[in-house]
């Protein structure tokens, strides 16, 4: 809340300049997850960490640092990357040329698996395998959730008026509203 009320940490007075602090931490949670996995390993704990992010996070340096550290130190962490098919402002095709996000795991010597996130049974099976690998000492693994029936929530940086949502989700089945 300190950031929103404006104080010396922001570098300027938001009230005076009528501009709020621009702060969108993206992917930092992966580094924290890797740190927790490292601490658990050093303590000899039987802990497996689940570190989650979206496809846009795979374009961030923190993503690569987290995967690299986890791989080098053989840490018990499972990386869950949800393919939203659109980051905050660009489609996946403008973020990566990898055949799938699961392929990014290969560069770090990790197991990568693609799964339909709407198939709960398949999702749990993939998670069970990943956790088992981590517990057996095989270290880290990476898997991808493909939300084939989800709708994207537009962000303030790219409102629905741009047509992004319709283009992006046109091939997906319609999900009945709960209301």
For the stretch 52-90, pLDDT in tens is: 998 888 989 999 999 999 999 999 999 998 888 877 778
pLDDT one-digit tens code per residue, 124-148: 998 999 898 888 876 555 554 444 3
Is 29 inside a domain boundary?
Answer: no
Domain of residue 129 covers 50-152+159-169
- Domain count across the chain: 1
Specify if 123 maps to a domain. Answer: yes
Is 9 contained in some domain?
no
Spacing of C-alpha 141 from chain mean position? 14
In a domain, 34, yes or no: no
DSSP string, 135-177: IIII--EEEEEE-TT-----BTTB-GGGSHHHHHHTTSPPPPP
Please classify residue 29 by burial: count the beta carbons closer than 10 Å to its beta carbon, then call 0-12 exposed, 13-18 middle and 19+ buried. Answer: middle
Asked whether residue 80 is domain-assigned, the answer is yes
Residue 94 or residue 169, greater confidence: 94
Domain CATH code at residue 104: 3.40.50.970
- Strands 77-82 and 111-116, sheet pairing: unpaired
Under 8 Å CB-to-CB from 173, ≥6 apart: which residues?
A: 148, 149
Asked if residues 111 and 174 have their Cβ atoms less than 8 Å apart, the reply is no
Measured CA angle at 64 (ends 67, 110), to 5 deg: 35
pLDDT value at position 65? Answer: 95
Q: Is residue 45 part of a domain?
A: no
Q: Is residue 177 in some structural domain?
A: no
Evaluate the CA torsion angle 59, 61, 62, 67 in order and state its sign. Answer: positive
Q: What is the pLDDT of residue 8?
A: 55
The pair of three-digit structure tokens given for residue 161, joined into one six-digit string:
């008026």
Is residue 2 domain-resident? Answer: no
**How many C-beta atoms surround the C-beta of residue 52 within 10 A?**
14
Q: Is the pTM of this model over 0.85?
A: no
């Amino acid at each position: 809340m300190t950031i929103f009320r404006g104080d010396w940490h922001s570098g300027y007075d938001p009230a005076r300049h009528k501009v709020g602090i621009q702060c969108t931490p993206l992917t930092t949670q992966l580094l924290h997850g890797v740190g927790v996995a490292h601490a658990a390993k050093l303590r000899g704990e039987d802990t497996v960490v689940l570190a989650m992010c979206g496809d846009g996070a795979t374009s961030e340096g923190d993503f690569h640092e987290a995967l690299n550290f986890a791989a080098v130190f053989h840490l018990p962490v499972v990386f869950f990357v949800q393919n939203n098919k659109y980051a905050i402002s660009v489609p996946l095709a403008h973020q990566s040329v990898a055949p799938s996000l699961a392929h990014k795991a290969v560069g770090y010597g990790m197991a990568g698996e693609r799964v339909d996130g709407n198939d709960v049974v398949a999702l749990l099976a993939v998670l069970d395998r990943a956790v088992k690998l981590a517990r057996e000492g095989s270290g880290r693994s990476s898997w991808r959730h493909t939300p084939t029936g989800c709708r994207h929530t537009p962000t303030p940086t790219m409102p629905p008026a741009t047509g992004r949502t319709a283009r992006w989700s046109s091939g997906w089945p319609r999900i009945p509203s709960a209301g």
